[in-house]
Structure 1
């Protein structure tokens, strides 16, 4: 009987602690430039900053942060070392007979030699450094707000482009999402702005492992105050 009572109190205490925790404001860190590996378009930076201000106005505790390992790690290169060998057999199947029509990415996957074991190990170690940094970050914050792409939407079939004065390959589009693909963290993207030529600019909300409900809740707060919430395509 005593044991059952104690377990009941433990359960109540756990639920009460969760209830109290849910009443405190969400703690959100944000970064844009510097923030990820490589340059970020100024309109994207402005959009992320505007989203941070909007979350602050919605009652979240928001502050600008720096994650040095995120700035220093070429996550696209790390992802490539691991993905290229895994993807090649499937790419070969679906592109058979259409080799002249495939995009640069698929062609590189098919043509690049296997990743040397030393590079493979280095890539795995880079992922561990990212995980360690995020684990420490999410001890202090509930979510991370950042770009989802380093530049606004572009035309299909993009070639190299200039971002904030730096020429980058079209694969730079993945620089803000690759770190979370590598570490398996829940991330959500949503439009929050518009470029000078009318194209959408998104932001990305990231939370800790198994905290999908957090990222969804904070994104819903952001959606309520979004300047593009009522925009719809002309049909």
Structure 2
């Protein structure tokens, strides 16, 4: 039964706890046992939260007492180790922050707890949350549970690996350019990067460049993303970007008021894409077409004029360099890992290039606005290739040699523009690795992409596959 519990989604676990078919103690204990059994291979967990079993006992007592229960009552969750957790180590993937224990929860953690969730553990990440692999000097490298020789991605790679391996049913990651969607794709789970500002970043480091950072849920099912989003979204009076009070529909299955129009593309404008990945996106498009949705292949000219990855790189370097310089000031060289060193070594962006990049970002936003005049959803790939071996700096993708930053080609446009996107599995590579697709909506249109994702999930043949560890 314990093995079954560790692969149920959070929504089902909450239902079983609420109806007293299982106890919260059983659920938390099953996940702790799973961590003990498989994390030595995966290395996704960096800290266990004290008091999880005691919190589960209280959750069960509240059920028996007939108290009002939150939608995640008694369900364990995990959080990336850049997200503050009161009384629980938050060390940001660096010896510089060794032993750091916050006094208060990040707003996103507080809202998960308010919904009844029980913090189970903190998960691994790259140094300072900055890279597409989760590796650092403090807690080492996380491995992909589908193939331990491969990466679960970054920067929320520990979170994705924990959920994929059955160590957590749901959790929180952060996303600067790829970091909840890419890791979800590499491990075959689901994740949501909502519209920028929907979920407050209060209590999460680094906060610069703030206009690109997001925090979002990672989970097993689309309904879990909808549930988590309904609890996480809304202003907190501290994060000035979190101002939206627009009502949204967090439910699944509601038919939109008009016939849906979905466009799909894998480029140009994203960089090269592996044929297997393109075929998966095409198959997802065909699946939606088979459900009676209007689907057609499209292009967005603005992405061809201004390559979003180049725009992003020119915009964020100066701010990130300053944050990294402040964090590492006066520290020994052996406390600083390769990504911070790389960032600190990059040349400054000239004012001319910075202004041109800002204007490029505006043109990209305009291009998406034009697209969403005619379509409700954009279907793309998440990553141009399935999960790769650890430590690869260059790739040959569809005959083109590119560096590792190009893996962000289809995800970073949503950070530059602030658009919402969902990463969900729809295929499997010839090597048995997950392949995810990305569903993009217009600003504040999370309910639309959650609805389409639920439809796609319903016809997916890979939803219930789990890694054999």
TM-score band, normalised by shorter chain: 0.7 to 0.9
Q: 2:359 aligns with which of 112, 122, 125?
A: 125
Specify the alignment match of 2:387 in structure 1. Answer: 153
Q: Higher relative contact order at CA 8 Å, sep ≥6: structure 1 or structure 2?
A: 1
Q: Return the TM-score normalized by structure 1.
A: 0.84
C-alpha distance 59-98 of structure 1, shift in aligned 2 (>3 A) = farther
Matched, 1:108 2:342: yes
C-alpha distance 207-228 of structure 1, shift in aligned 2 (>3 A) = same
CA displacement at 1:227 relative to structure 2: 2.0
CA displacement at 1:110 relative to structure 2: 1.1
Q: Deviations over 1:132-186 (max 9, x none)?
A: 1111110110000001111111122221010001100000010111111100001
The whole-number CA distance in structure 2 between the counterparts of 1:100 and 1:157 is 20
Q: Given that residues 161 and 168 in structure 1 are in contact (C-alpha distance below 8 angstroms), is that contact kept between their aligned partners in structure 2?
A: yes
Tell me the SS of whatever aligns to 2:373.
Answer: coil
Q: 1:87 aligns with which of 320, 326, 330?
A: 320
Specify the alignment match of 2:270 in structure 1. Answer: 37
Tell me the SS of whatever aligns to 1:156.
Answer: coil
Specify the alignment match of 2:163 in structure 1. Answer: none
Q: Given that residues 260 and 376 in structure 2 are in contact (C-alpha distance below 8 angstroms), is that contact kept between their aligned partners in structure 1?
A: yes
Task: Map 1:49-64; keep pairs closer than 5 Å.
Answer: 49-64=282-297
Tell me the SS of whatever aligns to 1:89.
Answer: helix
Task: Map 1:204-215; keep pairs closer than 5 Å.
Answer: 204-215=438-449
The whole-number CA distance in structure 2 between the counterparts of 1:158 and 1:43 is 20
Tell me the SS of whatever aligns to 1:168.
Answer: strand
The whole-number CA distance in structure 1 between the counterparts of 2:419 and 2:271 is 21
Tell me the SS of whatever aligns to 1:162.
Answer: strand
Tell me the SS of whatever aligns to 1:204.
Answer: strand
Aligned CA-pair RMSD = 2.0
Tell me the SS of whatever aligns to 1:22.
Answer: coil
Higher helix share: 1
